[in-house]
Amino acid sequence: MKFTKITISLLAGLLPWGGKNEGCIPTPETPAPTDAPTAAPSVTSAPSQSSSPIAAPVTLSPTPNCSISGYACLQNSDFGEVDDNTWNMDLQLETLNPDITKDAYITARDKLTSLISSNNLNNPGGEDTSGWTYAEFCESNGAGYPSKLDDIYICGRDAVIDGHGKILGRAGPSRVWSNGLPSAGSMEFDIDDITWLINNGTWETVILHEMAHVLGIGTVWRSNNDVQRIRRGRNISYLYEGPIATNVWQNDWECAGAPPVEADGGGGTAGGHWDDECMDNELMTGYLNGGQANPLSKLTAATLDDLGYSIDYSSSTIDNTYDGSNTSCCNGRRNLRQLNNGKPPLSAKGKANAMAYGKSVLESRKLPTGKQRVKNGLKYVGDKIVTVYYEEYGYIYDVEVTSHEKLL
């Protein structure tokens, strides 16, 4: 498998750190992925409005047939049930400390199921998941997928990776529907870093941010032709071109041109987050602002609309106090060499570390010989893209690693 692209974004602000990296430069190393947990267009398109029913808030119940020593295995109480009238998310967790970790997943799920009413697919009765045996989280430990998928399955788990600091975790879609929207995905965090994220008040925001990536924000943008890469001499800009979010940018927020996508990343490339210089503390910038709110704006809701979801714009998940007045309406024409506001780029050693780990993850999830990539209308993409979370000097970076193959 050839790896040709890396996206680096700064995900979190400088926060107090007590891990092994304090005061030192990381040395490149490749932690092995675990198989199981151990101890600028002018547009007139308007956002869609949906009055479809939304999923009820989730409660978690023990997962049957899960016998991982020391771990609690949980899933939503209506796991596997099909409701053609709502957009549903089946959620499974494998966690050492459910009392401190599970609420962030529950909150993120409730926010997204309140926001999304449909993925606009005609799949009454759900889709059969038999034969999904490609090193996808939660399955190898007896938990298993729902027998019928409706509309997305996400597994979140604690894992042993590399101790405090450096690799914090990873996430990404593992399957997509025929329209390109993710149908399954996973989120994994190093057990030695979760407490730090919780203590700094960033755990809940990180979970929502990464769950949104699993749903396709940033990860599916390019496949959906929503991002344009522009070179002006030595400078590179990225502009978002999805018509619905661009309509919000231009007509609701009264900003010119197209929404700018982050172009920072040191020696790497970018294109998976809103530009932080323009949108500051918005949830889906590449920089999580510790100690302050990171709202999900109407612009982020609209990019989900562009991807193909039906969005309820009256949902309380959208923070309508965040609008054009919170942005500088800038055009994203910035040099890749230096992150704005003094935010340091990820070092070459840190990038090598994250890239090596991402490559090892994709290799471990490679489609086995003889297995079908497309089964029952669902395409396996677990070996094509992964987002790696990497800590350096108390900052957290989002490093997107993809194979040379297109996602769709």
Which of 368, 392, 399 shows the shortest CA–CA distance to 382?
A: 368
Annotated binding site for Zn(2+): 273
Annotated binding site: 273
- Nearest-10 crossing angle of helices 203-215, 191-199: 120
**CB distance 127 to 148 below 8 Å:** yes
User: Omega before 150 cis (within 30°)?
Assistant: no
Could you tell me the end-to-end alpha-carbon distance of the chain, in angstroms, rounded to an integer? 17
Beta bridge partners of 188: 157, 170
Round to whole Å and give the CA distance between 170 and 214.
11
Tokens of 111: 């926010």
Computed from CA positions of residues 248, 250, 255, 260, in that sequence, does the dihedral angle turn out positive or negative?
positive
- Angle subtended at Cα 93 by Cα 92 and Cα 99, rounded to the nearest 5 degrees: 135
